[in-house]
Amino acid sequence: MHPLLLRTKARIRDAIKPIAEAAVGAIVFGVAAEGVRELIQGRDPIKEMQQHPLGALLKGGQRSGFGSLVGDYLLGQFDRHGFSAVASLAGPTFAQIDTLMDLMHAGGETKDGMLSSAAMRQRGADAIRLAKENTPFMSLWATSWATDALIWHRLQEWINPGYLARSERRQRDQNGTQMWVSPAKTDQWITGRRASPF
């Protein structure tokens, strides 16, 4: 074989090797995380892996984020946060330009127009998301939980009554997620409409 072809082949192999190692590591940890999740939900992950090994690997890739990261950009237009590939690659500051444009043009495609109540609700939701993403210390679990319960959930319920209960129901139906502390019940407790969130 020609030396140039040998060098090219070696360069391709060296370029692919770290990506393959990252994929394998992500899938291994993703399968473990998915197994823990299934245990918490009362299912048997070992039995699931024995019956559907390929499905377990695919779920592990998705759980790790590696599969969804690749799939979002190869098969879809937006990532799971609603940003395009360009917005995600440009970074968090530039990605928020999409949210600002949504604030300006909400409801422009609907028959009711940009000043309809649906468009104004959409603007309110976008404004809350933008404020929440730019609030300091929101990445800490305690401050995040406290501000969710005391501020953001109240604002979401004010803009769209019943939002928290619908969101919980959707998460339970689509993902099988059970809340330890229900945001809807906590909001009712904070506003005095319920004795206890538990």
Write down the domain spans for the chain: 1-76
The sign one gets for the Cα dihedral 132, 135, 139, 141 is negative
Q: Structure tokens of 60?
A: 């592990």
Give the model's pLDDT for residue 74. Answer: 55
pLDDT at residue number 24: 84
Q: Which residues touch 154 (CB under 8 Å, ≥6 apart)?
A: 187, 190, 191
Please report the pLDDT score of residue 149 as a whole number: 83
Best CA proximity match to 54, nearest among 27, 81, 73: 27
CB 177 within 8 A of CB 171: yes
pLDDT of residue 153: 86
Q: Whole-prediction pTM value?
A: 0.45
Q: Which residue, chain included where needed, has tokens 């790790």? A: 64
**Which helix (H) or strand (E) covers residue 95, if one does?**
helix 92-105
Give pLDDT, residue 88: 65
Chain position carrying tokens 């995040």: 144
In the numeric block, the tokens 């422009």 are attached to 108
Residue 25's pLDDT is what?
A: 85
CB under 8 Å to 87, separation ≥6 — which residues?
94, 95, 97, 98
pLDDT by residue, tens only, the chain of 198 residues? 677 777 777 777 777 777 778 778 888 888 888 888 888 888 888 888 888 888 888 888 778 777 655 655 555 555 555 666 666 666 666 667 777 777 777 655 556 667 777 777 778 878 887 888 788 887 777 888 888 888 888 888 888 888 888 988 988 888 777 878 888 888 888 888 877 766
Residue 103: per-residue pLDDT: 77
Cβ contacts of residue 136 below 8 Å, gap of 6+? none
